[in-house]
Amino acid sequence: MKAKTIVTIVGARPQFIKAAPVSRALIPFFHEVMVHTGQHYDYGMSDVFFEEMEIKKPEFNLGIGGGTHAEQTGLMLIELEKILTSVKPDCILVYGDTNSTLAGALAAAKAGIPLAHVEAGLRSYDRTMPEEVNRVLTDHVSNLLFCPTDAAVKNLAKEGIVQGVHRVGDVMYDALLYNLANARAKSKILDQLGLKKGGYALATVHRAANTDSIERMRSILDGLGKLDTQVIFPVHPRTRKTINEWEISTGANVLMVEPVGYFDMLVLQENSNCILTDSGGVQKEAYLAGVRCITLREDTEWVETVAAGWNKLVGVNTDLIVDTYKNWHPQGERAALYGDGHSAVEISKTIFSALR
- State the DSSP code for 235: P
Neighbours of 255 (CB within 10 A): 16
Whether 157 is covered by a domain: the verdict is yes
Between CA 218 and CA 224, with CA 220 as vertex, the angle to 5 degrees is 115
Residues whose CB falls within 8 Å of the CB of residue 216, separated by 6 or more in sequence, listed in order: 209, 210, 316
28 and 51 co-located in one domain: yes
Choice among 40, 206, 329, 342 that is catalytic: 206
Whether 206 sits among the annotated catalytic residues: the reply is yes
For 203, the domain range is 184-327
Whether 56 is covered by a domain: the verdict is yes
246 and 273 co-located in one domain: yes
**Full pLDDT tens readout for the chain, 356 residues:** 679 999 999 988 889 889 999 999 999 999 999 999 986 555 445 567 677 777 778 999 998 877 788 999 999 999 999 999 999 999 999 999 999 999 999 999 999 999 999 999 999 999 988 999 999 999 999 999 999 999 999 999 999 999 999 999 999 999 999 999 999 999 999 999 999 999 999 999 998 899 999 999 999 999 999 999 999 999 988 899 889 999 998 999 999 999 998 899 999 999 999 999 999 989 999 999 999 999 999 999 999 999 999 999 999 999 999 999 999 999 878 999 999 999 999 999 999 999 98
75 and 20 co-located in one domain: yes
Q: What is the pTM of this model?
A: 0.87
58 and 87 co-located in one domain: yes
Neighbours of 336 (CB within 10 A): 10
Q: Are 28 and 3 in contact (CB under 8 A)?
A: no
Query: How far apart, in whole angstroms, are the C-alpha atoms of residue 194 and residue 26?
Result: 40
Whether 332 is covered by a domain: the verdict is no
Residue 207: which CATH number?
Answer: 3.40.50.2000
228 and 133 co-located in one domain: no
